[in-house]
């Protein structure tokens, strides 16, 4: 019998959990939403960053049953059909992606930043992304992508 | 085909920063990595590892583990053919020294001697605990200098004093030349071990198919064809019995360039379990402890110069801690000793390299091979030589560097060479002449280091060829099949750009299928900065071949000389008068028409022109061409805390031609980040053979706050051998970083750091010694 409802990307999932499962485990293994990655399982790499009520949290140290009924957004929930979110577009346009393994976490951490601070300085971007390791690309193009995304979002026509 | 794909310009994509061909999948989380894969009835595999750094295996009893419910297979050496694997088997067969599962001895903490597959991880781990292994513990040795002494514990029977590889570089008469020098000095430099720390750990899924006796292995890897070769050899199967599929891979950096015992074990376990797929996935701790690591090195140098700055001779000795097995040891050592020939015009050199077995974890390939350690040592030494004769280090380098179109003392053939321009441009951009030696009162300084790199190197085979196939469908959509393994660097994009540009069609028409040993042509792998150069040339040849096939049909139909025809901007044109004959689509319609029915399948195979290396002297031309760079670091030293603030980093890089400038910059920036990490804090700390910092909390990786402003300057020298003039450049920017920073620290504070990493403690100690010697 399902004993918990988890809301991911505006969709409710009824699950039967024993209470020990992390959000990371539930997303990847129960819901097969493998866009969320993990490179350490101990809150050091940021690859498992998801949004909880719009704020970034680490899924590897979040218990799934603690977030029952709250709004969870994963990387799968960011694009609208074929239309990428402006942050995703910006990361591609600025060449900020190499292997891409850190990207889901990096992009969601960037979204969390831009939602609370639409025009961050370079230093504010560095601080906000300091929990997300990228081993390939040297970060500089990621900073440029976040700045570019901020401009794109600002220039977006208001949504109906 | 889709009208959008044709209309979207992206014509002539070479030289443009087109977005990654696989980018949308990566930013939406839809791309599947091996780590993400789940197959029906998939089992979890785990390795049985030695808790001892050095021991004889007396007995292994797996009976209790086999009886545990949920356990589907247990294997030991008895389930293998006991055939050894290695990485430099062609040139150095004696370095093939590791078994898929060891049977007689274990040589480091974590050495593999068995494996289990079970329905879940918990059961697999429980089963490992139920395996009884009887060991006779042997004395270990961890320090390479101790291991070289007579009477030290012998780790492998086949070599004396634990010296697994000796590589001398010997040209001219350095002893006589040194006597003619005006200034001679000796230095010793120490470089630490480090980890690749790829975001995706080592992971594979092996599946044996009973009805066809075939194995499929999905893997995160840089060299899937090497994996296939090793599996075929050690499992006694044919190459076409094995399908290795490289999935999207979360980084490699040299760490995913060879076999690990888990790769063999997942296949063997699947067979023993009756064909259920077996997934083996390292956690972060296993990744730090049981994959491969950078060789820690001691680099001794003694060199002499004339008053005018001419280097007359260099001598030296390199001692590298190899750990338990040889891995890519010979190549690492060669890179540490031979690269100097590409950088400096020197006639008299003798550098002796020794790679020593110890009971530490296994050292292997890592971005730059041994060039990072040697780059730090040689480029620090060069500044000290310049200082000794009172010469500006920039002018000192300009006096001694190699030139275009020359043959070096060891017979390396240099064609294009932008090193001089790199130095001049980096100096201009950084305001070198105004800053050097001028800012010590502010505890600020600026330092330079230079480097050169290969693009390809024969490592495990007699050849290092790459193959490409271009297949054109009837609707004008195009497949590019390449054996090259994109582990994140973007080679699928760059190769597609090369293909589209040569074919004269839109980049959007191309889909790239790469690195599946059953479908794509052979390619030795992603290493030695070879893919753009070698696989790029193969792709260029395939595109030329496909184009030729189309033009032959058009020339036949229109009764024109096919040498007069070309395809530009999606149109077949007559080169003589630039007239348009027909569109690319119409031309393909013609090829696939009632009258012709010609399938367009272009093929390309490329193997660079090199000469064999004499490993007794270092003579030979290892690469088809060479890349060059100059790096300048600007630092500020906090003399109270010992903290170094990196203010700026400039990298002027001869890339031949930037096929995708954004991608080239990203490679350089990523290399610089790794260089910064290695210079200041990355340090794989081993105590009695055990890695004591196997996590991201203790092993520090550069993060966003560590990044200074990076300034990349791309210099294009249009290499005569590169595709559209391009060179490889995936590693070179990492080579000089530590020395550029060391030289800048010296300029800032008058202290010379000779031991990496540059922690605040070492800086303070050096400052204290300097003040005491005043």
B318-368 confidence digits (pLDDT tens): 999 999 999 999 999 999 999 999 999 999 999 999 999 999 999 999 999
Give the model confidence (pLDDT) of B152-181 as tens digits.
Answer: 999 999 889 999 999 999 999 999 999 999
B40 torsion bin: left (phi>0), alpha (psi -120 to 50), beta (else): beta
The whole-number pLDDT of residue A159 equals 62
ipTM surpasses cut 0.85: yes
Taking contacts as CB-CB distances below 8 angstroms, the residues of chain B near A135 are: 197-199, 251, 253, 670, 674, 701
Strand pairing report for B478-482 and B686-687: unpaired
Confidence label for B467 from pLDDT (cuts 50, 70 and 90):
very high
The whole-number pLDDT of residue B459 equals 77
Q: Quick one: what percent of chain B has pLDDT higher than 90?
A: 96
Confidence label for B773 from pLDDT (cuts 50, 70 and 90):
confident
Question: Are residues A100 and B488, on separate chains, in Cβ contact within 8 Å?
Answer: yes
The whole-number pLDDT of residue B3 equals 60
| Shared fold status for B3-31+465-606 and B370-457+621-772 | yes
What are the extents of the domains in chain B?
Answer: 3-31+465-606, 34-138+201-249+256-290, 370-457+621-772
CB contacts under 8 A, B 142-181 vs A, are none
Taking contacts as CB-CB distances below 8 angstroms, the residues of chain B near A125 are: 704
Confidence label for B7 from pLDDT (cuts 50, 70 and 90):
low
B651 and A CB contact within 8 Å: no
A133 and B CB contact within 8 Å: yes
B336 three-state secondary structure: helix
Confidence label for B745 from pLDDT (cuts 50, 70 and 90):
very high
Taking contacts as CB-CB distances below 8 angstroms, the residues of chain B near A143 are: 704, 707
The whole-number pLDDT of residue B1 equals 60
The whole-number pLDDT of residue B499 equals 98
Q: In CATH terms, is domain B34-138+201-249+256-290 a member of 3.40.50.150?
A: no
The whole-number pLDDT of residue A106 equals 98
Helix B661-680, helix B737-749: angle, nearest 10: 60
Question: Are residues B671 and A138, on separate chains, in Cβ contact within 8 Å?
Answer: yes
Considering only CA atoms, which of B141, B144, B159 is closest in space to residue B193? B144
The whole-number pLDDT of residue B6 equals 56
CB contacts under 8 A, A 50-69 vs B, are none
Q: State the architecture of B370-457+621-772 in CATH terms.
A: 2-Layer Sandwich (3.30)
B529 and A CB contact within 8 Å: no
Paired strand residues for B606: B466
Q: Which residue has the tokens 């401009």?
A: A151
Question: Are residues A99 and B199, on separate chains, in Cβ contact within 8 Å?
Answer: yes
pLDDT of B185 > 60? The answer is: yes
- Pinpoint the residues of chain A covered by CATH 1.10.150.120: 86-154
Confidence label for B39 from pLDDT (cuts 50, 70 and 90):
very high
Give the chain B residue whose CA is nearest to the CA of A80.
B28
Confidence label for B445 from pLDDT (cuts 50, 70 and 90):
very high
Out of 3.40.190.10, 3.40.30.10, 3.40.50.620, 3.10.20.30, select the CATH number for domain A4-77: 3.10.20.30
The whole-number pLDDT of residue B471 equals 98
Question: Are residues B29 and A84, on separate chains, in Cβ contact within 8 Å?
Answer: no
Task: Name which of A94, A132, A137 is nearest B670 (Cβ-Cβ).
Answer: A137
Distance from CA of A22 to the nearest CA of B (A): 16
Task: Name which of B30, B671, B707 is nearest A139 (Cβ-Cβ).
Answer: B707
B710 and A CB contact within 8 Å: yes
The whole-number pLDDT of residue B774 equals 77
Count of pairs with CB atoms under 8 A, one residue in A, one in B:
170
Give the model confidence (pLDDT) of B387-406 as tens digits.
Answer: 999 999 999 999 999 999 99
B693 and A CB contact within 8 Å: no
* Disruptive mutation site among A107, A132, A134, A140 for chain B (greatest number of B CBs within 10 Å): A140
Q: What is the mean pLDDT of residues B371-378?
A: 98
3-state DSSP percent of chain A in helix, strand and coil, to 5: 40, 15, 45
Distances (CA, A) of B4 to B1, B172, B503, B506: 9, 63, 19, 11
Least confident piece of the model among A75-79, B69-73, B444-448, B612-616: B612-616
CB A47 within 8 A of CB B250: no
B236 and A CB contact within 8 Å: no
Distance from CA of A77 to the nearest CA of B (A): 8
Taking contacts as CB-CB distances below 8 angstroms, the residues of chain A near B665 are: 95, 141
Q: What is the DSSP string of B697-726?
A: TTS----GGGPPPEEEEEE----SSSGGG-
Least confident piece of the model among B257-266, B300-309, B457-466: B457-466
Distance from CA of B677 to the nearest CA of A (A): 10
pLDDT of B8 > 60? The answer is: no
Taking contacts as CB-CB distances below 8 angstroms, the residues of chain A near B32 are: 34
Confidence label for B10 from pLDDT (cuts 50, 70 and 90):
confident
CB contacts under 8 A, A 74-113 vs B, are 74-76, 78-79, 84, 88, 91-104, 107
pLDDT averaged over every residue in chain B: 96
pLDDT of B150 > 70? The answer is: yes
pLDDT of B693 > 90? The answer is: yes
A35 and B CB contact within 8 Å: yes
Give the model confidence (pLDDT) of B399-428 as tens digits.
Answer: 999 999 999 999 999 999 999 999 999 999
A130 torsion bin: left (phi>0), alpha (psi -120 to 50), beta (else): alpha
Q: State the architecture of A86-154 in CATH terms.
A: Orthogonal Bundle (1.10)
pLDDT by residue for chain A (160 residues), tens only, comes to 678 999 999 999 999 999 999 999 999 999 999 999 999 999 999 999 999 999 999 999 999 999 999 999 999 999 999 999 999 999 999 999 999 999 999 999 999 999 999 999 999 999 999 999 999 999 999 999 999 999 999 998 776 5
> Which CATH number describes the domain made up of B3-31+465-606?
3.30.365.10
Distances (CA, A) of A150 to A122, A147, A153, B707: 12, 5, 5, 21
B4 and A CB contact within 8 Å: no
- Pinpoint the residues of chain A covered by CATH 3.10.20.30: 4-77
* Alpha carbons B576 and A17: distance in angstroms, whole number: 74
A21 and B CB contact within 8 Å: no
Taking contacts as CB-CB distances below 8 angstroms, the residues of chain B near A97 are: 20, 23, 26-27
Q: What is the DSSP string of A87-124?
A: HHHHHHHTT--SS-TTHHHHHHHHHHHHHH-SS--HHH
Question: Are residues A41 and B283, on separate chains, in Cβ contact within 8 Å?
Answer: yes
């Amino acid at each position: 019998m399902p004993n918990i409802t988890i809301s991911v990307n505006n969709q409710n999932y009824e699950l039967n959990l024993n209470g020990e499962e992390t959000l990371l485990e539930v997303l990847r293994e129960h819901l097969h939403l493998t866009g969320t990655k993990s490179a350490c399982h101990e809150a050091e790499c940021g690859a498992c960053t998801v949004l909880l009520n719009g704020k970034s949290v680490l899924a590897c140290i979040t218990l799934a049953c603690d977030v029952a009924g709250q709004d969870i957004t994963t990387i799968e929930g960011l694009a609208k059909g074929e239309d990428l979110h402006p942050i995703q577009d910006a990361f591609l346009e600025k060449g900020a992606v190499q292997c891409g393994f850190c990207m889901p976490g990096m992009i969601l951490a960037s979204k969390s930043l831009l939602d609370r601070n639409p025009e961050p300085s370079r230093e504010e971007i560095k601080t906000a992304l300091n929990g997300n390791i990228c081993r390939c690309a040297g970060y500089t193009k990621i900073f440029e992508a976040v700045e570019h995304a901020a401009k794109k979002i600002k220039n977006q026509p208001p949504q109906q | 085909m889709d009208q959008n794909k044709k209309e979207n310009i992206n014509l002539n994509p070479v030289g443009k920063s087109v977005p990654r061909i696989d980018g949308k999948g990566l930013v939406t989380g839809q791309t599947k990595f091996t780590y993400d894969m789940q197959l029906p009835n998939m089992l979890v595999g785990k390795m049985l590892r030695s808790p001892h750094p050095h021991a004889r295996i007396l007995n292994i009893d797996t009976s209790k583990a086999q009886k545990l419910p949920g356990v589907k297979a247990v294997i030991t050496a008895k389930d293998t053919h006991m055939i050894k694997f290695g990485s430099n088997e062609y040139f150095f067969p004696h370095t093939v020294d590791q078994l898929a599962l060891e049977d007689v001895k274990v040589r480091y903490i974590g050495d593999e001697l068995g494996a289990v597959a079970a329905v879940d991880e918990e059961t697999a781990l429980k089963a490992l605990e139920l395996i009884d292994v009887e060991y006779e513990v042997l004395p270990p040795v961890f320090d390479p200098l101790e291991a070289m002494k007579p009477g030290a514990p012998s780790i492998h029977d086949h070599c004396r004093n634990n010296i697994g590889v000796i590589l001398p570089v010997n040209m001219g008469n350095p002893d006589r030349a040194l006597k003619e020098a005006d200034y001679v000095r000796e230095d010793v430099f120490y470089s630490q071990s480090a980890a690749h720390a790829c975001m995706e750990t080592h992971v594979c899924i092996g599946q044996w198919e009973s009805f066809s006796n075939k194995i499929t292995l999905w893997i995160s890897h840089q060299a899937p064809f090497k994996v296939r070769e090793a599996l075929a050899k050690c499992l006694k199967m044919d190459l076409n019995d094995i399908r290795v599929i490289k999935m999207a891979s979360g980084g490699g950096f040299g760490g995913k360039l060879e076999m690990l015992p888990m790769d063999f074990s997942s296949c063997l376990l699947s067979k023993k379990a009756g064909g259920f797929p077996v997934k083996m996935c390292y956690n972060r701790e296993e990744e730090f402890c049981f994959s491969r690591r950078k060789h820690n090195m001691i680099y001794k140098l003694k060199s002499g110069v004339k008053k005018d700055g001419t280097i007359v001779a260099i001598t030296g000795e390199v001692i590298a801690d190899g750990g338990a097995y040889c891995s890519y040891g010979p190549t690492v050592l060669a890179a540490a000793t031979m690269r100097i020939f590409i950088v400096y015009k020197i006639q008299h050199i003798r550098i002796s390299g020794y790679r020593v077995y110890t009971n530490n974890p296994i050292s292997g390939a890592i971005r730059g091979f041994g060039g990072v350690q040697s780059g730090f040592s040689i480029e620090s030494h060069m500044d000290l030589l310049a200082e000794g004769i009172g010469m500006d280090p920039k002018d000192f380098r300009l006096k001694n560097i190699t030139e275009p179109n020359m043959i070096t003392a060891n017979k390396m053939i240099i064609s294009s060479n932008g090193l001089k321009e790199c130095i001049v441009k980096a100096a201009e951009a950084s305001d070198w002449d105004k800053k050097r030696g001028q800012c010590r009162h502010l505890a600020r300084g600026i330092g330079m280091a230079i480097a050169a790199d290969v693009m390809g190197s024969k490592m495990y085979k007699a050849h290092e060829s790459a193959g490409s196939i271009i297949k054109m469908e009837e609707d004008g959509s195009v497949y590019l099949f390449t054996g090259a393994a994109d582990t994140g660097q973007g080679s699928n994009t760059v190769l597609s750009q090369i293909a589209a540009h040569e074919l004269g069609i839109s980049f959007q028409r191309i889909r790239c299928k790469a690195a599946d040993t059953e479908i794509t042509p052979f390619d030795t792998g992603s290493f030695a900065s070879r893919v753009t150069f070698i696989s790029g040339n193969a792709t260029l040849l395939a595109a030329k071949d496909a184009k030729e096939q189309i033009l032959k049909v058009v020339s036949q139909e229109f009764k024109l000389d096919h040498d007069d025809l070309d395809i530009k901007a999606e149109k077949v044109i007559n080169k003589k008068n630039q007239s348009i004959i027909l569109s690319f689509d119409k031309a393909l319609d013609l090829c696939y028409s009632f009258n012709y029915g010609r399938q367009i399948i272009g093929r390309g195979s490329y193997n660079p022109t090199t000469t064999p290396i004499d490993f007794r002297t270092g003579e030979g031309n290892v690469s088809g061409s060479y890349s060059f760079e100059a790096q300048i670091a600007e630092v500020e030293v906090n003399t109270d805390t010992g903290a170094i603030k990196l203010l700026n980093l400039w990298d002027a890089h001869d890339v031949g031609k930037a096929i995708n400038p954004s991608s080239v910059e990203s490679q350089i920036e990523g290399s610089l980040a790794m260089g910064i990490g290695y210079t200041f804090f990355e340090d794989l700390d081993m105590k009695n053979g055990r890695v004591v910092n196997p996590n991201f909390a203790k092993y520090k990786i550069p993060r966003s706050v560590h990044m200074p402003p990076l300034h990349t300057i791309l210099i294009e020298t249009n290499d005569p051998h590169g595709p559209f003039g391009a060179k490889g450049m995936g590693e070179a920017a990492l080579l000089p970083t530590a020395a550029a920073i060391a030289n800048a620290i010296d300029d800032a504070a008058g202290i010379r750091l000779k031991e990496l990493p540059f922690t605040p403690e070492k800086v303070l100690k050096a400052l204290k010694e300097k003040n005491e010697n005043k």
